[in-house]
Structure 1
Amino acid sequence: MARKVIDEPSEEIVADAKRERAERRNPFSRIALFIRQVIAELRKVVTPTRRELFSFTGVVLVFVLIMMGLVYGLDFLFGLLVSWAFGDGSIR
């Protein structure tokens, strides 16, 4: 089970952003602020456990296989209909 993380910026980051906006810094300091904020957000990222990773991978693979079967079935059906409508009139 993934750990629950509250997605709120820290008070320090908010205070820094307000101060930077108030002072109207040059473009380089705004870029530095952006990079600091990106790094702070990346520290909040929670990586899945090995078990969760295998579980998620299995779910994705099963979903992809189901969608492939659905698309194949519709393609085959529409191919038969087009062959019947515009072809020689016989259904395979």
Structure 2
Amino acid sequence: MARKVLDEPSEEIVANAKKARETKRGPFARMSLFVKQVIAELKKVVTPTRKELLSYTGVVLVFVVIMMALVSLLDWVFALTVTYVFGTPGG
């Protein structure tokens, strides 16, 4: 199972953000800070195991099939209703 990681920025990121807020940085310094923060956030990402990935994929596929069935059923009911109210086409 994936390990739990708190979604809080580290003290280093907070300190850098406060320092950046206090001083006006040039465009390259801002881009550099952005890249550093992106890398720091990417280090927090936890990839799922193969078993978890297959489980998540299965859940999504089952949900999509159920939603397709629901939408198809509603489409069929509305088509019957419209045919009943307005009659058959061309007739």
Query: When the two structures are superposed, what TM-score results if normalisation uses the length of structure 1?
Result: 0.89
Query: What is the match of residue 38 of structure 2?
Result: 38
Deviations 1:27-79 (A, max 9, x none): 22112111110111011000000000000001001101110000000000000
Aligned residue-pair number: 89
Match of 1:50 in 2: 50
Give me the CA root mean square deviation: 1.4
Query: Aligned residue for 2:11?
Result: 11
Equivalence for 1:73: 73
Whole-Å separation in 2 of the counterparts to 1:48 and 1:59: 15
Residue 56 of structure 2 is aligned to residue 59 of structure 1: no
Moved over 6 A (4+): none
Q: Secondary structure at the match of 1:83?
A: helix
Of 71-80 and 28-37, more deviation after overlay is shown by 28-37
Quick one: distance in 2 between partners of 1:23 and 1:74? Answer: 59
Which fold has the larger relative contact order, with Cα–Cα distance below 8 Å and residues 6 or more apart in sequence?
Answer: 2
**Partner Cα distance (1:65, 1:20) in 2:** 49
- Runs (5+) with no aligned partner, structure 1: none
Q: Please state whether the residue corresponding to 2:4 is helix, strand or coil.
A: coil
Unaligned runs of 5+ in 2: none
Displacement of 1:20 in angstroms is 1.9
